[in-house]
Structure 1
Amino acid sequence: METELPEDQYRIPLGPSEGEFRDRGSKFVAVLRPVRNEAEALAVQEEQRRAHPKCNHHCYAYRLGPGPDRWRTNDDGEPGGTAGKPILGQIDRAGISDVVIVVSRYFGGTKLGTSGLINAYREAARQCIEEAPLGVRTITTTVTLEFGYALMTPVMGALSQLNLEMAAQDFSERATVTLELPRSQAAATLRSLKAAVAGVYLETVDDDYAVDGLTVSVETDG
């Protein structure tokens, strides 16, 4: 049984995989690719059109992001509901996102019927997922700290104290440090950071607390 993930994490494929299913002479060649947006997903379908020019059908499904709303299926000329939906069903059964699966069909001369097509596209997609390395993506909050050099020592000391790694840094006229924090921990971490920089007790710091000379901006991913 899979461990339930925190609300700011979801499962993703870490790399590509392939699968193949045969039925009565027809061959269904499937590829799975990690993607982050619709353009990348559609590019995989075009890639498969070029890779398998003898196939008349390159059916796909994709799901993006942590929520339930960003998805699409395409039967690419197959009878409605016989290809894209079975592929998506396997994606959702596996509980993964940021993924596209494209299945290209080589026709073997024998019609498979509705149930045969559904089974073939489903099985080709399932094989891809079974072969794919899976991992977890964390939805992050980007915190940008901007400050003068008078605060350099307390800010760097606070980052070290809290074991926070800088995602980016720019030390020009004013210093800018960017942090990527797990969304569920961002508010509490930012309070701790402000308390450490200001040298005050954590209990005195709330979400609106401001440190003189320190500008904080927050942007949530996803």
Structure 2
Amino acid sequence: MSLQVFDKIISDRGSRYAVSGGPARTRAEAEALLAELRRNKRFAKATHNTWAAILSGEAVRDDDGESGASQIILQMLERAGLTDHVVIVTRWYGGKHLGGDRFRHVVDAVRHYLAQGEARQVGR
């Protein structure tokens, strides 16, 4: 598995964000990448590890308590034409509610991944 992690990319009112991802052809492979990420104690203690993937035409996603966030990730993967690849947005809650800004941060995190990650070579 080749998991790419971009840590500490966004900070707002104490909440911190990271984005990670890697190739996955099945839900089991996507969950294995998530498990690999969570082996890092810092990510295991995160408030949310929200993820989505389009695997062989099947959309899979998990909000992990960040309601609606995985749908945003999924829509961005669809627009980018990125399949067989999981993208995980991690958030450490900082004590202050972000309201709609949390969705803007999810979008910015996925954009960062698509621009910087190995997804660039795969999805385009």
Fold in common (TM above 0.5): yes
TM norm structure 1: 0.48
Q: Distance in 2 between matches of 1:17 and 1:131?
A: 10
Aligned residue number for residue 94 of structure 2: 108
Matched, 1:64 2:49: no
Aligned residue number for residue 94 of structure 1: 80
Matched, 1:33 2:33: no
Pairs within 5 Å for 1:1-222: 16-19=3-6, 20-51=9-40, 52-65=43-56, 67=57, 70-79=58-67, 81=68, 83-113=69-99, 115-133=100-118, 134-135=121-122
- Give 1:60 deviation, angstroms: 0.4
Structure 1 gaps, min length 5: 1-14, 137-222
User: Percent of aligned pairs with the same residue?
Assistant: 34
TM norm structure 2: 0.82
CA-based RMSD? 1.8
Report the residue type matching 2:18 in the other structure: V
Cα deviation, 1:72-109, whole Å, max 9, x if unaligned, reads 12110123x1x101111221121110100111211112
Does the aligned pair in 2 maintain the 1:17–1:129 contact within 8 Å?
A: no
Q: Distance in 1 between matches of 2:74 and 2:82?
A: 10
Q: Distance in 2 between matches of 1:21 and 1:76?
A: 19
Report the residue type matching 1:90 in the other structure: M
Does the aligned pair in 1 maintain the 2:21–2:85 contact within 8 Å?
A: yes
Rg larger in 1 or in 2?
1
Cα deviation, 1:24-54, whole Å, max 9, x if unaligned, reads 2211111010111110101122222232122
- Give 1:18 deviation, angstroms: 3.4
- Give 1:16 deviation, angstroms: 4.8
Does the aligned pair in 2 maintain the 1:44–1:102 contact within 8 Å?
A: no
Relative contact order (C-alpha < 8 Å, sep 6+): which is higher?
2
SS for the counterpart of 1:63 is strand
Cα deviation, 1:121-166, whole Å, max 9, x if unaligned, reads 1211111111123147xxxxxxxxxxxxxxxxxxxxxxxxxxxxxx
Q: Distance in 2 between matches of 1:17 and 1:36?
A: 16
Moved over 6 A (4+): none
Name the count of aligned residue pairs: 116
